Chains A and B, each alone.
Chain A
Amino acid sequence: KAGVTQTPRYLIKTRGQQVTLSCSPISGHRSVSWYQQTPGQGLQFLFEYFSETQRNKGNFPGRFSGRQFSNSRSEMNVSTLELGDSALYLCASSPTGTSGASRDTQYFGPGTRLTVL
Protein backbone atom coordinates (compact mmCIF):
# COMPACT_ATOMS: atom_id res chain seq x y z
CA LYS A 1 0.00 0.00 0.00
CA ALA A 2 1.32 3.41 -0.88
CA GLY A 3 1.99 5.72 2.05
CA VAL A 4 0.79 9.24 2.67
CA THR A 5 1.90 11.54 -0.11
CA GLN A 6 2.30 15.29 0.10
CA THR A 7 2.85 17.80 -2.67
CA PRO A 8 4.84 19.81 -3.24
CA ARG A 9 7.81 18.70 -1.16
CA TYR A 10 9.43 22.11 -1.15
CA LEU A 11 7.98 25.57 -1.59
CA ILE A 12 9.40 29.07 -1.42
CA LYS A 13 7.04 32.02 -1.07
CA THR A 14 7.29 35.66 -0.08
CA ARG A 15 5.49 37.46 2.72
CA GLY A 16 1.90 38.30 1.96
CA GLN A 17 1.41 35.51 -0.55
CA GLN A 18 -0.83 32.54 0.00
CA VAL A 19 -0.06 28.86 -0.39
CA THR A 20 -1.96 25.60 -0.81
CA LEU A 21 -0.52 22.27 0.25
CA SER A 22 -1.93 18.91 -0.74
CA CYS A 23 -2.14 15.56 1.02
CA SER A 24 -3.25 12.17 -0.27
CA PRO A 25 -3.92 9.72 2.57
CA ILE A 26 -3.25 6.01 2.57
CA SER A 27 -5.92 4.24 0.55
CA GLY A 28 -8.93 3.51 2.73
CA HIS A 29 -7.99 6.03 5.42
CA ARG A 30 -10.70 8.56 6.10
CA SER A 31 -9.13 10.83 8.69
CA VAL A 32 -6.49 13.40 7.76
CA SER A 33 -4.67 15.58 10.27
CA TRP A 34 -2.22 18.42 9.67
CA TYR A 35 0.71 19.44 11.83
CA GLN A 36 3.27 22.22 11.72
CA GLN A 37 6.84 21.43 12.75
CA THR A 38 9.40 24.11 13.61
CA PRO A 39 12.66 23.91 15.57
CA GLY A 40 11.31 26.34 18.15
CA GLN A 41 7.77 25.03 18.70
CA GLY A 42 8.15 21.41 17.73
CA LEU A 43 5.19 19.53 16.29
CA GLN A 44 1.88 21.33 16.69
CA PHE A 45 -1.58 20.19 15.67
CA LEU A 46 -3.34 22.34 13.09
CA PHE A 47 -6.62 20.55 12.32
CA GLU A 48 -8.20 17.18 11.59
CA TYR A 49 -10.78 16.20 8.97
CA PHE A 50 -13.03 13.20 8.71
CA SER A 51 -15.65 12.72 6.01
CA GLU A 52 -15.09 16.24 4.72
CA THR A 53 -15.78 17.75 8.16
CA GLN A 54 -13.31 19.50 10.41
CA ARG A 55 -13.57 17.77 13.76
CA ASN A 56 -10.81 19.46 15.67
CA LYS A 57 -8.71 22.58 15.36
CA GLY A 58 -5.49 23.68 17.02
CA ASN A 59 -4.51 27.13 18.22
CA PHE A 60 -3.57 28.73 14.96
CA PRO A 61 -4.88 31.97 13.45
CA GLY A 62 -7.66 31.98 10.88
CA ARG A 63 -5.08 32.42 8.11
CA PHE A 64 -4.64 28.66 8.35
CA SER A 65 -7.50 26.72 6.83
CA GLY A 66 -8.11 23.35 5.29
CA ARG A 67 -10.59 21.13 3.60
CA GLN A 68 -11.15 17.52 2.74
CA PHE A 69 -12.61 16.12 -0.43
CA SER A 70 -14.96 13.17 -0.88
CA ASN A 71 -12.01 10.92 -1.80
CA SER A 72 -10.39 11.84 1.57
CA ARG A 73 -7.64 13.89 -0.05
CA SER A 74 -7.01 17.08 1.87
CA GLU A 75 -5.58 20.52 1.27
CA MET A 76 -4.45 23.19 3.65
CA ASN A 77 -4.17 26.84 2.82
CA VAL A 78 -2.20 29.59 4.47
CA SER A 79 -3.08 33.13 3.46
CA THR A 80 -1.07 36.32 3.96
CA LEU A 81 2.12 34.43 4.69
CA GLU A 82 4.42 35.62 7.47
CA LEU A 83 8.08 34.81 8.04
CA GLY A 84 7.08 32.74 11.07
CA ASP A 85 5.05 30.40 8.87
CA SER A 86 8.27 28.87 7.57
CA ALA A 87 8.05 25.27 8.70
CA LEU A 88 7.66 21.65 7.75
CA TYR A 89 3.96 20.94 7.26
CA LEU A 90 3.07 17.33 7.92
CA CYS A 91 -0.03 15.45 7.01
CA ALA A 92 -1.07 12.24 8.74
CA SER A 93 -3.83 9.79 7.92
CA SER A 94 -5.56 7.13 9.96
CA PRO A 95 -8.24 4.54 9.20
CA THR A 96 -10.90 5.63 11.73
CA GLY A 97 -13.97 3.43 11.92
CA THR A 98 -17.18 4.09 10.09
CA SER A 99 -18.56 5.75 13.19
CA GLY A 100 -15.65 8.13 13.18
CA ALA A 101 -15.53 7.97 16.94
CA SER A 102 -12.42 5.92 17.47
CA ARG A 103 -8.84 7.06 17.35
CA ASP A 104 -6.26 5.17 15.38
CA THR A 105 -2.61 5.18 14.67
CA GLN A 106 -1.68 8.12 12.50
CA TYR A 107 0.76 7.60 9.65
CA PHE A 108 2.70 10.59 8.47
CA GLY A 109 3.76 11.75 5.05
CA PRO A 110 7.19 13.22 4.28
CA GLY A 111 5.98 16.79 4.70
CA THR A 112 6.11 19.97 2.68
CA ARG A 113 8.98 22.31 3.55
CA LEU A 114 7.66 25.87 3.27
CA THR A 115 10.09 28.76 3.31
CA VAL A 116 8.74 32.29 3.52
CA LEU A 117 11.11 35.06 2.45
Chain B
Amino acid sequence: GESVGLHLPTLSVQEGDNSIINCAYSNSASDYFIWYKQESGKGPQFIIDIRSNMDKRQGQRVTVLLNKTVKHLSLQIAATQPGDSAVYFCAENMKGGYNKLIFGAGTRLAVHP
Protein backbone atom coordinates (compact mmCIF):
# COMPACT_ATOMS: atom_id res chain seq x y z
CA GLY B 1 0.00 0.00 0.00
CA GLU B 2 1.00 3.62 -0.29
CA SER B 3 2.62 5.43 2.59
CA VAL B 4 0.43 7.66 4.69
CA GLY B 5 3.05 10.29 5.25
CA LEU B 6 6.55 10.41 3.92
CA HIS B 7 8.17 12.56 6.61
CA LEU B 8 6.38 11.68 9.80
CA PRO B 9 8.22 11.50 13.11
CA THR B 10 9.04 7.88 13.87
CA LEU B 11 9.08 6.08 17.17
CA SER B 12 11.10 2.87 17.09
CA VAL B 13 10.60 0.34 19.85
CA GLN B 14 11.52 -3.25 20.60
CA GLU B 15 8.79 -5.86 20.68
CA GLY B 16 7.52 -6.22 24.21
CA ASP B 17 8.46 -2.70 25.29
CA ASN B 18 5.91 -0.05 26.16
CA SER B 19 5.33 2.76 23.65
CA ILE B 20 4.29 6.32 24.33
CA ILE B 21 3.05 8.50 21.50
CA ASN B 22 2.50 12.17 22.19
CA CYS B 23 0.26 14.77 20.63
CA ALA B 24 -0.25 18.48 21.17
CA TYR B 25 -3.75 19.58 20.28
CA SER B 26 -4.60 23.01 19.05
CA ASN B 27 -7.94 24.21 20.37
CA SER B 28 -8.83 24.95 23.98
CA ALA B 29 -12.48 24.54 23.05
CA SER B 30 -11.99 20.90 22.05
CA ASP B 31 -13.63 18.52 24.46
CA TYR B 32 -13.46 15.14 22.75
CA PHE B 33 -10.26 13.41 21.69
CA ILE B 34 -9.62 10.23 19.76
CA TRP B 35 -6.64 8.12 18.80
CA TYR B 36 -6.64 6.35 15.46
CA LYS B 37 -4.26 3.78 13.98
CA GLN B 38 -3.69 3.68 10.25
CA GLU B 39 -1.97 0.83 8.48
CA SER B 40 -0.68 1.13 4.97
CA GLY B 41 -3.48 1.01 2.42
CA LYS B 42 -6.25 1.22 5.02
CA GLY B 43 -8.45 3.82 6.58
CA PRO B 44 -7.89 5.04 10.16
CA GLN B 45 -9.00 2.53 12.79
CA PHE B 46 -10.46 3.73 16.10
CA ILE B 47 -8.33 2.83 19.13
CA ILE B 48 -9.59 4.79 22.12
CA ASP B 49 -11.25 8.07 22.96
CA ILE B 50 -11.50 10.40 25.95
CA ARG B 51 -13.72 13.33 26.85
CA SER B 52 -12.42 16.46 28.52
CA ASN B 53 -14.04 15.65 31.87
CA MET B 54 -11.52 12.82 32.26
CA ASP B 55 -7.73 12.78 32.39
CA LYS B 56 -7.13 9.08 31.87
CA ARG B 57 -8.89 6.23 30.14
CA GLN B 58 -7.76 2.64 29.72
CA GLY B 59 -8.54 0.08 27.07
CA GLN B 60 -7.05 -3.24 26.20
CA ARG B 61 -3.27 -2.67 26.25
CA VAL B 62 -3.79 1.05 25.59
CA THR B 63 -4.14 4.07 27.86
CA VAL B 64 -4.88 7.63 26.85
CA LEU B 65 -3.83 10.53 29.06
CA LEU B 66 -5.19 14.04 28.68
CA ASN B 67 -3.56 17.16 30.13
CA LYS B 68 -5.82 20.09 29.38
CA THR B 69 -3.52 22.59 31.08
CA VAL B 70 -0.86 22.17 28.42
CA LYS B 71 -3.17 20.83 25.69
CA HIS B 72 -1.38 17.50 25.51
CA LEU B 73 -2.59 14.03 24.74
CA SER B 74 -0.65 10.79 24.91
CA LEU B 75 -1.25 7.20 23.92
CA GLN B 76 0.49 4.45 25.84
CA ILE B 77 0.68 0.98 24.33
CA ALA B 78 1.73 -1.81 26.67
CA ALA B 79 3.82 -4.76 25.50
CA THR B 80 4.08 -3.45 21.95
CA GLN B 81 3.71 -6.08 19.24
CA PRO B 82 4.76 -6.14 15.57
CA GLY B 83 1.10 -5.76 14.63
CA ASP B 84 1.10 -2.37 16.35
CA SER B 85 3.38 -0.98 13.62
CA ALA B 86 1.38 1.75 11.91
CA VAL B 87 0.85 5.51 11.84
CA TYR B 88 -1.00 6.86 14.86
CA PHE B 89 -3.09 10.02 14.73
CA CYS B 90 -4.65 12.02 17.49
CA ALA B 91 -7.81 13.91 16.63
CA GLU B 92 -9.81 16.57 18.45
CA ASN B 93 -13.44 17.54 18.19
CA MET B 94 -14.50 20.98 19.27
CA LYS B 95 -17.60 21.43 21.39
CA GLY B 96 -20.40 22.41 19.06
CA GLY B 97 -18.40 21.26 16.06
CA TYR B 98 -20.60 18.28 15.33
CA ASN B 99 -18.48 15.51 13.84
CA LYS B 100 -15.64 17.65 12.50
CA LEU B 101 -12.34 16.10 13.54
CA ILE B 102 -9.06 18.01 13.47
CA PHE B 103 -6.18 15.60 13.07
CA GLY B 104 -2.60 15.83 14.21
CA ALA B 105 0.22 15.16 11.78
CA GLY B 106 0.69 11.57 12.94
CA THR B 107 3.51 9.48 14.36
CA ARG B 108 4.89 6.37 12.75
CA LEU B 109 5.44 3.51 15.19
CA ALA B 110 8.01 0.91 14.11
CA VAL B 111 8.19 -2.23 16.22
CA HIS B 112 11.35 -4.31 15.88
CA PRO B 113 11.54 -7.98 16.88
Report if B102 contacts A (CB, 8 A). yes
In the assembled complex, the CB of B32 is this many whole angstroms from the nearest CB of chain A, namely 6
The answer to whether B97 touches A56, judged by C-beta atoms less than 8 angstroms apart, is: yes
Q: Note all chain A residues with C-beta closer than 8 A to B60.
A: none
Q: How many residues of B contact A (CB 8 A)?
A: 29
The answer to whether A39 touches B3, judged by C-beta atoms less than 8 angstroms apart, is: yes
Question: CA–CA, A35 to B100, complex, Å?
Answer: 9
Kindly specify which of B13-21, B39-47, B65-73 makes contact with the partner chain.
Answer: B39-47
In the assembled complex, the CB of B8 is this many whole angstroms from the nearest CB of chain A, namely 9
Report if A24 contacts B (CB, 8 A). no
Interface of B is mostly: loop
A55, A56, A106 interface centre (most CB from chain B within 10 Å)? A106
Q: Which 9 A-B pairs have the closest CB atoms?
A: A108-B43, A43-B103, A108-B44, A56-B100, A55-B98, A110-B43, A48-B99, A56-B98, A39-B6
Report if B36 contacts A (CB, 8 A). yes
The 29 sampled A-B contact pairs (Cβ below 8 Å) are A4-B43, A33-B99, A33-B100, A33-B101, A35-B103, A37-B4, A39-B6, A39-B7, A42-B104, A43-B89, A48-B98, A50-B99, A55-B98, A55-B99, A56-B97, A58-B100, A92-B43, A92-B101, A96-B99, A103-B97, A103-B98, A103-B99, A105-B34, A106-B46, A107-B46, A108-B44, A109-B43, A110-B43, A113-B2
